[in-house]
Structure 1
Amino acid sequence: MWTTKNIPDQRGKTMIVTGANSGIGFETARELSLSGAYVILACRNFKNAQDALERIRQISEKATVEASVLDLSDLYSVKQFAKTVLQTHSRLDVLINNAGVATPPETKTAQGYELQFGVNFLGHFALTGYLYPLLRKTKGSRIVTLSSNGYQHASIDFQNLRSEISYDPMREYRQSKLANLIFSVELNRRIGIKGDEVLSIATQPGANKTELTRHLSPEEIAAGVERLGTFMEPWQGALSTLFAAVSEEAVSGKLIQPHEDGYRGYPSLVSIKENALDTATGKKLWELAEEITGIHFP
Structure 2
Amino acid sequence: MTSESQTRIWDVHRLPRAEGRTFLVTGGNAGIGYFVAEQLAETGADVVLGSRHPTKAEAAMASIRSRVPGTYVRHCQLDLADLSSLRNSVDALELDRLDAVVYNAGVALDEPPRRETKDGNELMFGTNHLGHFALTQWLTPLLSAAPAGRIVTVGSFAAKSERLDLDDLQSAEDYRPKRAYGRSKLAQMYFGLELDRRLRATDSTMLSVVVHPGGALDSLTPDRPPVHVKTVGERLSGLPAGLVVQGKDAGAWPAVRAVLDPEVRGGQLWGPRLFGLRGRPRPEPLYSHLADTAVAARLWDASCDLADADPNLGLP
Q: TM-score, normalised by structure 1?
A: 0.90
1:233 aligns with 2:247: yes
Contact 2:97-2:144 at 8 Å conserved across structures? no
1:116 aligns with 2:124: yes
Q: CA-to-partner distance for each residue in 1:219-269, whole Å, 9 max, x for gaps?
A: xxxxx9999964311111111111101012211122100011110111010
Number of aligned pairs?
284
Using the TM superposition, name which of 178-187 and 109-118 deviates more.
Answer: 109-118
Contact 1:116-1:176 at 8 Å conserved across structures? yes
Percent identical residues: 35
Alpha carbons of structure 1 residues 237 and 8: separation in structure 2 relative to 1, 3 Å: same
Alpha carbons of structure 1 residues 36 and 253: separation in structure 2 relative to 1, 3 Å: same
Q: CA-to-partner distance for each residue in 1:184-232, whole Å, 9 max, x for gaps?
A: 1100000011110101000000001149xxxxxxxxxxxx999996431
1:102 aligns with 2:108: yes
Alpha carbons of structure 1 residues 12 and 227: separation in structure 2 relative to 1, 3 Å: closer
State how far apart, in whole Å, the 2-side matches of 1:16 and 1:121 are.
17
Per-residue deviation, 1:36: 0.6
Contact 1:96-1:144 at 8 Å conserved across structures? yes
Per-residue deviation, 1:293: 1.9
Per-residue deviation, 1:45: 1.5
Which of 20, 38, 47 aligns to 2:28? It is 20
Extract unaligned runs of 5+ from structure 1.
212-223
State how far apart, in whole Å, the 1-side matches of 2:252 and 2:214 are.
9
Q: TM-score, normalised by structure 2?
A: 0.85
In the other structure, the counterpart of 2:226 is none
Extract unaligned runs of 5+ from structure 2.
1-7, 220-237
1:278 aligns with 2:292: yes
Alpha carbons of structure 1 residues 167 and 246: separation in structure 2 relative to 1, 3 Å: same
State how far apart, in whole Å, the 2-side matches of 1:149 and 1:225 are.
21
Q: Which amino acid is the alignment partner of residue 101 of structure 1?
A: V
Equivalent position SS for 2:92: helix
Using the TM superposition, name which of 7-16 and 54-63 deviates more.
Answer: 54-63
In the other structure, the counterpart of 1:268 is 282
In the other structure, the counterpart of 2:136 is 128
1:170 aligns with 2:184: no
Equivalent position SS for 1:4: coil
State how far apart, in whole Å, the 1-side matches of 2:92 and 2:174 are.
38
Q: Which amino acid is the alignment partner of residue 53 of structure 1?
A: M
State how far apart, in whole Å, the 1-side matches of 2:247 and 2:167 are.
37
Per-residue deviation, 1:142: 0.6
Using the TM superposition, name which of 68-77 and 182-191 deviates more.
Answer: 68-77
In the other structure, the counterpart of 1:221 is none
1:259 aligns with 2:273: yes
Aligned-pair RMSD on alpha carbons? 2.0
